[in-house]
Structure 1
Amino acid sequence: MSPGEVIRILATDADLGPNGEVTLSFPSPNPLFRFTKNGTLLVVGALDRESRDSYELVIKASDGGTPQRENFTTITVSITDINDNTPVFSASIYTNSILVKDAKEGAVVLTLSATDKDAGNNSLITYSFSEGASPYLSVDSETGAVTLTSDLADVTEDTTLELTAMAKDQGQPPLNSTAGVVIKLRVNTLTEGVVFENSSYNFRLPENQPMGTSVGAVKASAGGDHDVTYTLTTHTDLFSIDASGALTAKEPLDKETQDWYILEVEAVDTRVPPTSAVALVKVQVEDVNETPQFSNESYNVKIFSIAPYKSPVIQVKATDPDIGESGQLVYSLSAASDYFDIDHSTGEVFVVSVTALAGEEMALQVKATDPKGLFATTKVEVEVKGSASSSDIVIISINQAANIVEKKVAEMEESLGKALGWTVKVIDVSGSSGSNTHGHSGYRLSRGSSKSFISFISIDGEDVVSSEEVTEKLKSESVTVKAELEKLFGEGLQLEVEEEEGGPSTNQATVIALGVLLALSMLGLLLMVTFTIVKFRRIKKHQEDSYTESFDIGKPSNGYINTGMTTETETTESETSASETSERARSDSKSSQVVEPKKTVAHSVAGNGTVTNAHTSGEDREEMEIMGKDSKSSKVETNITDVGETSDNDFL
């Protein structure tokens, strides 16, 4: 894994093509982390475990489809410690005085104390003497306790032991620091001088306590009838000491400013000449959970009712003087809203849907809460202007990625306003893969795109400037507009005014026209189906009547045979039978009443396969039968085809 890489995260999408291409990002810009195109999480800022040892990151996975689909998850990044802090002693020099006659082997003379801000083995400290080792003293490597190795019976005169103590951590490589150790061995009790009861003192003081708060007390004695006075030699601006040795704070202390103070107190007796002693006092400032604070008591902002979902309204900011996890704030709305919501980590208030609030004002109360439950609130007054419509929106495109543009929305509004001479309000920013210019989910699409579409409206006083007028001015002042935007995004900026294919009025007319055509088409189809059903029933009834007459042999014929047509038949016995049959048919025809109805063509197929035609007449169609004398010896097939009412066949 390369330096700066944390982990590679894989997100999948079951769709194909652009709909299945997943991009990882953060819901809001993160100054310390970012994602590469292949989903690798990179560290791009300096991380200090001593300031913060872990990060909860909200990750967004979004596809390239329209509408864009998103999913969110959370990961925890723990910061691994490196040995970058040196152990720090609580004092630069440790001193004490011992009466030889009171000395006992193993007695603790003083205790060394050092701290290391690192973690784990990097913070484990061992103590030792690096210089000036003495046969009378030893130090515990773990606790730092300096003890006597004998009862000092061989010490016959006042002796001063000066040593150098070293505190070393166990990191790789190990780091160390040193402090001085001065031990005075006194033989003569009459001249022993002033001595502190303890060579060092440790006190704790909660932060932000009022002036005059007691820190602790030190005690020294001079023996006999001699008095002792105390003097504070360090941090006199923050602490004071009285004649009894009581220490007090002169002003409130802030742990976030400094969490340790090392004081030196000197005790002087009234001997002539006087003797003195110095004790070290370590004061630790303890953290007290403090209430967050907003930078403003209230905020006022104006938006338009056409603002889409996720359009930013305003970003509020609160600070917490606490350090570590106690200073991590969560933003929320005091009361749930159907119109607005807030990003819990950034404090950005955004639009859910404000169409119903057109022309109204709404007050939101935003709350910032720390992990221990302390919170602060601020008021956000939102005026929703309803004078703008989607037809007033103008769209321009520039050759910049959407995630770059969205970081500079405020500056871009100022630059466009300066060039156009109006107040500009950006409604939406989207990438080049977005197909809907007014339906984007506001600042959330195609962050990796190299081209961005910027939707905005212009306001002149209290009036919204029409898109036609804005577009015209964008074209006439294109040089000025481009120059202003290049100040934000650099040279080589490509600016285009996006012309929509058909504005809202054209689209509305198109919809109306299509609706009328559709209605007419449906009406025509209904009439055609109705007419077809009626005609089909008439034809079916007509055919049934025709078939009934054709096969009713006992019914006398009222038709006639056209003598101009001949019927050829092939018989198995004699051609004479066929002739007689034909002659009989002619005779019957002449004796019948002749009427001129529709003509019917009869195709007769004789036994030899010859097709003959005969015209018949009658109110209804009949089938002509050609019969020989001996029906068993002849074979005749007849097909009837209606050639009348040809107009009906156009529907069949």
Structure 2
Amino acid sequence: MAVRRRQRRGPGGGRALLAAVLLCVWGRAAAERLRYAIPEELGRGSLVGPLARDLGLSADELPARKLQVASAGKKQLQYFTVSEENGNLYVNERLDREEMCGESVTCSVSFEVLVHNPLNVFHVEVAIEDVNDNSPAFSKPVLDLEIGELIPPGSRFPLEMARDTDAGSNSLLTYQLSSNPSFSLSMKEKAGGKKQPELMLERALDREKQSSFDLVLTAVDSGDPERSGTVLVHINVTDANDNPPVFSKSVYEARVAENLPAGSLVLRLLATDADASSNGRVSYSFGSVPDAVRALFSIDSETGEIRTAGLLDFDEKNKYILGIEATDGGGLTDHCEVHLDITDENDNAPEISILSLSSPVPEDVPAGAVVAVLKVRDRDSGENGQVSCELSGEAPLLIVASSGGSYKVVTAGALDREQASEHRVTVVARDRGRPALWSSTELVLEVSDVNDNAPVFEEAAYS
């Protein structure tokens, strides 16, 4: 048996990763789907589900049916394992939802399992449910505010929002402020249902009596049990900066193409301040933004221009929300959000992944028998990620689409080893991008002999 592999790039460039696994059987097989849900952080050996039972396999069948996880993705193979004794699916290593899926609302791991004698392939999806294992966190230990002594009571000062990398209700935050008669905490509704904490001045300040205040802001999530994080709010009382900077928008939106070179302009922010001199001079900076995002974007403190600092990849993350802070020379601030949608380019060729292959195949195998199982996927989205698969070459074989991106190669008619002892076909996977990207691999199927020809004398009679 021989397998040859080729990788090609479309006219527009891009990457192609190619692998193929082919499996020989003599019977029809239909792919099915199973879905389980487990909480993250389960220990190794924790039960995911009775896989064999859910597939209709009894304990007596397990040795012959050879139930196994068979996925092209190395990570998927590390996460789960199937017991040879009872056919149950178990956790094989620690699952951290935040490491696996980031801030995505949903998180799951998909893979295939194979059974033999006869062969069948099943698509399994395990949803990883969030547990409240992360506390809210602020980007810095101290928030510095400067408030003029002439600022009237009732004035509000936006405070940094904490981040919680958990999902769902575990990431919904409320805020508390340590008690002080000069200040209270109020909340401002933001886009998407978020709440911005604001410091409210309750009574006039007198710098000559007290020049600074230290308060503790606490962010509490909605998990059970709840988790919290704190930041020190240091307030310096100054003279007469009575106008904060104001952004022209509370939310800025932009679309950014992936693979832009570093230094490309994304958008320009604008905040104005009615004060004069240094009190009216505005500088821009990131607010509560993860370090990973700071590595991808930069902001000019003077012009408010946001530019790319690293390579954006739609397939890794397609949306970013940046918190931006404008600060004037007197220390007053305003905040806005920048919502960036990363647009996809067709930069990934389809990947033909190996599940299993066995050769040779007997020449008396019936028509319609499955001789190979393939997995084809494309990391792009939309039409760029829609893939069609075909066979190229003269052979009595057909390729049939199955669920979850799987394909089966089946016999289209009778095989005759005396006429052809092997068949060569090329599997071609092509996406619908413009220009289209494609990958291919050659499948060589050997045909083994069965005793289907009786001996024949060269002559009917001898004398």
1:137 aligned residue = 183
The match for 2:349 among 288, 294, 313 is 294
- Aligned letter for 1:43? V
> Is 2:410 the counterpart of 1:352?
yes
Q: Distance in 1 between matches of 2:400 and 2:304?
A: 51
The match for 1:239 among 298, 303, 306 is 298
The match for 1:4 among 30, 37, 46 is 46
The match for 1:169 among 212, 216, 221 is 221
SS in 2 for 1:122: helix
Higher-helix-fraction structure: 1
- C-alpha displacement at 1:378, in angstroms? 0.9
Count, aligned residues: 365
Distance 1:49 1:357, change over 3 A: farther
Distance 1:363 1:38, change over 3 A: closer
Which fold has the larger relative contact order, with Cα–Cα distance below 8 Å and residues 6 or more apart in sequence? 2
Contact 2:371 2:411 in 1 (8 A): no
Distance 1:46 1:332, change over 3 A: farther
- Aligned letter for 2:298? F
SS in 1 for 2:213: strand
The match for 1:54 among 97, 108, 113 is 108
- C-alpha displacement at 1:278, in angstroms? 6.3
TM-score by length of 1: 0.43
Q: Distance in 2 between matches of 1:115 and 1:226?
A: 30
Q: Distance in 2 between matches of 1:46 and 1:78?
A: 14
- C-alpha displacement at 1:128, in angstroms? 1.8
Q: Distance in 1 between matches of 2:235 and 2:312?
A: 35
- Aligned letter for 2:175? Y
Distance 1:126 1:25, change over 3 A: same
Distance 1:162 1:283, change over 3 A: farther
- Where structure 1 has 5 or more consecutive residues not aligned to the other structure, the ranges are 63-67, 269-274, 392-503, 514-652
Contact 2:295 2:310 in 1 (8 A): no
Contact 2:392 2:428 in 1 (8 A): no
- Aligned letter for 1:293? N
Q: Distance in 2 between matches of 1:27 and 1:344?
A: 16
- Where structure 2 has 5 or more consecutive residues not aligned to the other structure, the ranges are 1-41, 102-106, 188-193, 288-293, 363-368, 457-463
SS in 1 for 2:157: strand
Q: Distance in 1 between matches of 2:430 and 2:243?
A: 58
Q: Distance in 1 between matches of 2:205 and 2:325?
A: 32
Q: Distance in 1 between matches of 2:358 and 2:430?
A: 24
SS in 2 for 1:79: strand
SS in 1 for 2:184: strand
Q: Distance in 2 between matches of 1:376 and 1:85?
A: 42
Distance 1:363 1:389, change over 3 A: closer
Contact 2:377 2:387 in 1 (8 A): no
Contact 1:194 1:220 in 2 (8 A): yes
1:35 aligned residue = 82
SS in 2 for 1:249: strand
Q: Distance in 2 between matches of 1:225 and 1:389?
A: 85
TM-score by length of 2: 0.57
Higher-strand-fraction structure: 2
The match for 2:128 among 79, 88, 93 is 79
Q: Distance in 2 between matches of 1:35 and 1:85?
A: 30
1:220 aligned residue = 273
- Aligned letter for 1:214? L
Show CA shifts across 1:1-54 (max 9, x none). 99421111415479x987996554446465032322322111224433333422
Q: Distance in 2 between matches of 1:83 and 1:280?
A: 28
1:380 aligned residue = 440
Q: % of aligned pairs identical?
A: 18
The match for 1:333 among 371, 378, 389 is 389
Structure (1 or 2) with the larger CA radius of gyration: 1
- C-alpha displacement at 1:333, in angstroms? 0.8
SS in 2 for 1:213: strand
Q: Distance in 2 between matches of 1:201 and 1:136?
A: 28
- C-alpha displacement at 1:366, in angstroms? 0.5
Q: Distance in 1 between matches of 2:222 and 2:408?
A: 50
SS in 1 for 2:170: helix
- C-alpha displacement at 1:79, in angstroms? 1.6
